[in-house]
Amino acid sequence: MNEEQFVQALAEHGINLSAKQLAQFDKYYELLVATNAKFNLTAITDKEEVYLKHFYDSLTAAIYYPALQTEELDIIDVGAGAGFPSLPLKIAFPQLKVSIVDSLNKRIGFLNDLAAALDLTGVAFYHDRAETFGGKNSPHRAKYDLVMARAVARMTILSELTLPLMKVKGVLLAMKGSSAQVELANAEFALKTLGGQVLETHAFTLPNGDPREIDVVQKTKVTPKKYPRKPGTPNKEPLGE
């Protein structure tokens, strides 16, 4: 997907980018590749692949959850790595307030440099594990309107990492590949335990045919204080598995 195809594919869904926004995406790509030469941020570095599999893929969240396009949502992106999906969304929809938590400090350094280079405001980056970031005494617990996670963990694990961070009535957007329905079925106990309910699922393909699914989970009640468990436990002992 070249830049022209990127613009056209978004326009077909009513998302129109300005010249300034396109310049920001171009600089994002340049900084991503330059930093990736020093330490690993992504296995995808070809420009057309980045525009398709990182930039466009990230922005599909706004197609299937349109509130991202217009509302001043307070978002936390868990395990965003090089900033996906939340920073492409921030570029396209500047009214969003975006925070990212990631466990690798080098990635946080890259995100700070990127935000400065792109002149992004209303962003914050935190070096932490999701389990402690959303712990029972954390100021970030039950704070956010929207939690996002793209290819982070299967739903049984992801639900424990994300639901404690959401306000009641808040939403998790879990961006997944082709195994999402199996994950949702396996996560029924975890979601019920943590206070989550699946609102809808959106299965679609990228322009190259790659399968994707976005699962929308709403928090319907307060998450019990004992969750999330200590770092590493959700991964080793997923709820209900």
pLDDT at 28: 98
Range of the domain at 65: 59-236
The stretch 94-103 carries a mean pLDDT of 97
pLDDT at 234: 94
CA 1 remoteness from chain centre:
21
Asked if residue 75 belongs to a domain, the reply is yes
> 215 falls in which pLDDT band (50, 70, 90)?
very high
Please give the Cα distance from 98 to 76 (Å, whole number): 6
Which CATH number characterizes residue 120's domain? 3.40.50.150
∠ CA 222-65-32, rounded to 5°: 100
Asked if residue 223 belongs to a domain, the reply is yes
Q: Which long-range contacts (CB under 8 A, 24 or more apart) does 31-34 make?
A: 31/110, 31/113, 31/114, 31/117, 32/82, 32/114
> 50 falls in which pLDDT band (50, 70, 90)?
very high
Residue 79 annotated in ligand binding: yes
pLDDT at 86: 97
∠ CA 18-21-24, rounded to 5°: 155
Residue 6 annotated in ligand binding: no
User: Is the pLDDT score of 179 beyond 80?
Assistant: no
> 180 falls in which pLDDT band (50, 70, 90)?
confident
Residue 122's region, left for phi above 0, alpha for psi from -120 to 50, else beta, is left
Please give the Cα distance from 232 to 76 (Å, whole number): 20
Q: Which residue, 197, 192, 158, is CA-closest to 78?
A: 158
The stretch 118-147 carries a mean pLDDT of 96
pLDDT at 81: 86
pLDDT at 156: 94
Residue 130 annotated in ligand binding: yes
pLDDT at 177: 84
Asked if residue 50 belongs to a domain, the reply is no
User: Is the pLDDT score of 24 beyond 80?
Assistant: yes
> 151 falls in which pLDDT band (50, 70, 90)?
confident
pLDDT at 40: 86
> 14 falls in which pLDDT band (50, 70, 90)?
very high
pLDDT at 185: 87
pLDDT at 42: 87
Q: What is the mean pLDDT of the chain?
A: 95
Asked if residue 71 belongs to a domain, the reply is yes
Asked if residue 47 belongs to a domain, the reply is no
Asked if residue 32 belongs to a domain, the reply is no
Asked if residue 112 belongs to a domain, the reply is yes
Asked if residue 218 belongs to a domain, the reply is yes
Count of domains observed in the chain: 1
